[in-house]
Amino acid sequence: MKVDGGQPPMGTASTPSVRALRVSGAWEIRPPVFTDDRGLVAVPFRRDHLAALGVPPLDVAQTVHSRSRRGTVRGVHYTRGPSGGAKYVHCAHGSALDIVVDLRTGSPTFGLWDTVSLDPSLNRSVYVPAGVGHAFVALEPDTVLTYLLSTPYASETEGAVDARDPRLGLPLDRGDTRLMSARDRRAPTLDEAVRRGLLTVYEP
C-alpha cells in the first residue's frame, strides 16, 4: 500500500478492523494508521479494505463536511425511498459522539441505537446504511465531520426524527439540545414518523 506521494509509509502500522454496531447493517471502522517520528498517516476510507472486512461497498457520489460549535446536535437525519443512500462518516478535527439509530420499519433492530466516539486521534469512521438515522453531538469547538455519500444530497429524500424523543432515549444531556437547527427542533417523534409513513421499509 502506498500513500504520501507514492512512497510507502515508514514506522509502525495498525491493522484495519471493524465492529458491527447494535443497528443492523451499521459498522464502526478502524482504518489502518501508519506512525513514525514525523507523526501519522491514516487511511479513513479504502474500498478493498472494507470489502475484505465485510462492510458493504460504497460508491461515493458526493462528499460533504460540516463544522460545528461545541454542543451542537445535528440529526437524527436519514434518507428514505429507493433513491436514498448510505453514508460514511469520519471526524477530521475536534471530536464528536456519533449516533446511529435504526429508523427502518420492519427491521429486527428498529428503534435501537449505538454510539461511536470520533476524533482524529482515534481515526474511527462509521458506515450508516440507507434508511438508518444519523446524529452527532460536537464535543469540541470547530468539530469537523466529513461525509462520503453514495447518492448526491437531495432534500426531497432526507427526513429527520427528533433527537430529543424520550422513546429513543439518546445519550443527550439537556445542554446538548440548545444548538439545534429549527428543522431538527420541528422534526416528528419516532411514533409520529411511523404513523405518517415517513420512514424507510427495511429490506434484508
Torsion of CA 48, 86, 132, 137, to 10 degrees: 90
**Which is the catalytic residue, given 49, 77, 90, 134?**
77
Report the DSSP beta bridge partners of residue 174: none
Amino acid type, 142: D
Query: Would you state the cell numbers that stand for residue 126, as one nine-digit string?
Result: 462509521
Interatomic CA distance for residues 135 and 151, integer angstroms: 18
Give the C-alpha separation, 60 to 151, whole Å.
Answer: 7
Q: How far apart are CA 29 and CA 27, in angstroms?
A: 6
**147 assigned to active site:** yes
Q: In terms of Cα–Cα distance, which of 161, 169, 164 is closest to 190? A: 161
Is residue 127 annotated as a catalytic residue, yes or no?
A: no
Residue type, 109: T
**Active-site entry in 78, 88, 127, 147:** 147
Mind telling me the catalytic residues?
A: 77, 147
